[in-house]
Amino acid sequence: MIICVRLRDGAALPDLLGVAEDISPVAQALPPDTALIDVAGARRYFGQDAAGIASVLRVRALAHAGADCAIGVAATPLPARMAARQAAYGTTLVVADDPRELAAFLAPKPVTALPGVGAATARTLRTYGLDTVGKAAGVPLATLQRLLGVRVGREVHEKALGIDRTRVVPDEGARTLAAERAFGHDEVDRDAQRRALLSAAGELGGRLRDSHQVCRSLTLVVRYADGSTTQRTRTLPEATAHSPALTATAYRMHDALGLQRARVRAFSLRADGLAPEARATRQLTLDPADERARRLEETADRARARFGPSAIRPGTLAA
């Protein structure tokens, strides 16, 4: 059985993995805010079913990581992830290991609820009236492959039927840091979106410097009003924890997406490929402005450490 945990605050994901690994060594991070845990081997040890282990995990996550979460439980990762997205924070939703109950759970969901089904695929399916998982499941495989292509058609067909061939793969999920910024409404204003990215990049930079780490790449995840997402990753010119460098990269990814009319619900910015600061190499520069910026950043870090995270922040975010 699989437990999927969705955090209210994605920044607690590394701490959650530490708690999860005390229950089962088979834990996988799905940044920015989710983790999968295979508890097949833990049920006998704890003397409980997967739902009971989920309760233990929730208590430990709250006690040791201060992490509020929603939990989904199912036989395979796909329905567990969907259940975690449906569950309210502080609750657990269990999908029984029964084909009829699984089909009943999946059928009313919009096709965008299937992991991996993005906006373009969903638009194509909706054009032909296939707006729910149940409707997509009722269409022959050959039809979906004509509409979506051979590979994507097969993937959608299997997912709609609840067929899940994935496994939980233990990884180094703690080698990432994430910051999420959600909007109180569907945000279309570019300046407001860039302020959110500036804030998230500043948070990531501060956390990296506090932990004496640098990151090698940055990932931007955009969540839209219809629940679909777009993800972009860009490798940095050099491993860094410098907030302006992270912000500039986030802005370039944002500009490349062309979100002029998109209704954005949330941004998640993730620092990947973390490494100790001592191992990082930095390109020498003769630019005095860059050196001043780095010295100012060090001074601001000291002020925030003494007076709180909001003691110093960019003027753009002060309004």
**In the chain, what are the domain boundaries?**
2-96, 103-160, 175-317
- Which CATH code for domain 103-160? 1.10.150.20
Instruction: Tell me which H or E stretch contains 155.
Output: helix 150-160
Instruction: Tell me which H or E stretch contains 132.
Output: none
Q: Which residues, other chains included, contact 193 with Cβ-Cβ below 8 Å and sequence gap of 6+?
A: 187, 254, 259, 264, 267
**Fold that domain 2-96 belongs to in CATH:** Alpha-Beta Plaits (3.30.70)
Cα–Cα distance for residue pair 54/48, rounded to 1 Å: 10
Say if domain 175-317 classifies as CATH 3.30.1490.100. yes
Q: What does pLDDT average to over the chain?
A: 85
Q: What is the pLDDT of residue 5?
A: 93
Phi-psi region of 186 (alpha: psi -120 to 50; beta: other; left: phi over 0): beta
Q: Which residues, other chains included, contact 118 with Cβ-Cβ below 8 Å and sequence gap of 6+?
A: 112, 228, 229, 230
Question: CA 212: distance to chain centroid?
Answer: 23
**Would the CA dihedral through 36, 197, 242, 253 be positive or negative?**
positive
- Tell me the pLDDT tens digit for each residue of 150-202: 989 999 999 999 999 888 887 654 467 888 999 988 999 999 999 999 999 99
Q: Is the Cβ–Cβ distance between 156 and 147 less than 8 Å? A: no
CB atoms within 10 A of CB 184: 6
> What residue has token string 């780095």?
294
pLDDT at 91 over 80: yes
> What residue has token string 């036989």?
75
pLDDT at 72 over 50: yes
Comparing 2-11, 162-171, 295-304, which segment has the lowest mean pLDDT?
295-304
Cα–Cα distance for residue pair 301/166, rounded to 1 Å: 42
Instruction: Tell me which H or E stretch contains 130.
Output: none
Find which of 6-20, 84-98, 112-126, 269-283 is predicted with most confidence, using mean pLDDT: 84-98
Cα–Cα distance for residue pair 296/76, rounded to 1 Å: 49
In a 13 Å sphere around the CA of 25, the CA atoms on its Cβ side amount to 1
- Tell me the pLDDT tens digit for each residue of 19-68: 888 888 888 888 778 889 999 888 877 788 898 999 999 898 888 778 88
SS3 content of the chain, % helix, strand, coil (to 5): 45, 25, 30
Q: Is the Cβ–Cβ distance between 220 and 268 less than 8 Å? A: yes
Question: CA 64: distance to chain centroid?
Answer: 21
